[in-house]
Structure 1
Amino acid sequence: MTSPEMTVGELVDLLSGCDRNGLVRQAMNPFFPMAHRLAQVVQSVDETGQLVVYLAEGRDENSQLGHLPPEATVALAWHGPVQAPPRRPRRAADRN
């Protein structure tokens, strides 16, 4: 059985395929997706004695950057692709 949690090794493997000059941000809240700057990496032990590495957002007011781009929410499978509804022909104004 695989763990529902990601290990540091799995994170490193995923990051190794990314551009090293890319910015690091955290995507949060699938129902109202926002992007946050990461400021700290902290290693600790949880209540069960398991070693855990936490990725923390910054403390300043500019740490939350705004909405996550739609492409990111689709890639994360938080939202489905959305297309604009088809345009309907406009009706002429009734001038009586």
Structure 2
Amino acid sequence: MPSTEMTVGDLIDLLSACDRDAPVRQAINPFFPMEHRLDQVLQSVDATGQTVVHLAESSDEHSQLGALPPEVAVTLDWQSPVQPPRRPRRTARGGQ
């Protein structure tokens, strides 16, 4: 059965189109979208013997940066687009 997981090669291909000097952040938790700084890349072996790579955030208290920008959450389909509030309609004043 083919894997649906992103591979290191897929990640490299996607990253190759990005600005090499841009900071890397990880989007976490679709129900409460937050962004985190990445600190480490670790390679290990899972329970089935397959090599896997883990992207880890720092244990530094400042590694969680805050809420994920809404446009990123929308692009990830974690949130619906929010329409700006509409102003109330003007009413016609009769008899003046």
TM-score, structure 1 normalization: 0.87
Aligned counterparts, 1:1-96, within 5 A = 2-88=2-88
Structure 2 unaligned regions, length at least 5: 91-96
Counterpart-to-counterpart distance in 2, 1:31 and 1:10: 26
Residue number in structure 2 paired with 1:93: none
What amino acid is aligned across from residue 74 of structure 1 in structure 2?
A: V
Give a deviation string over 1:22-41, Cα, whole Å, max 9, x none: 11000000010000000000
Alignment-mate amino acid for residue 3 of structure 1: S
Give 3-state SS (helix, strand or coil) of 2:26's partner.
strand
Deviation of 1:89 after TM superposition, in Å, equals 5.2
**1:77 & 1:19 partners in 2: Cα distance?**
24
Deviation readout 1:19-71 (Å, 9 max, x if unpaired) = 10111000000010000000000000001111100000000100000000011
Question: Which of structure 1's runs of 4+ aligned residues deviate more than 3 A?
Answer: none
| Residues 81-90 or 48-57, more deviating | 81-90
Mean alpha-carbon deviation: is it higher for 81-90 or for 24-33? Answer: 81-90
Output the TM-score relative to the length of structure 2: 0.87
> Which residues of structure 1 form unaligned runs of 5+?
91-96
Displacement of 1:85:
2.8
1:87 to partner: Cα distance: 2.0
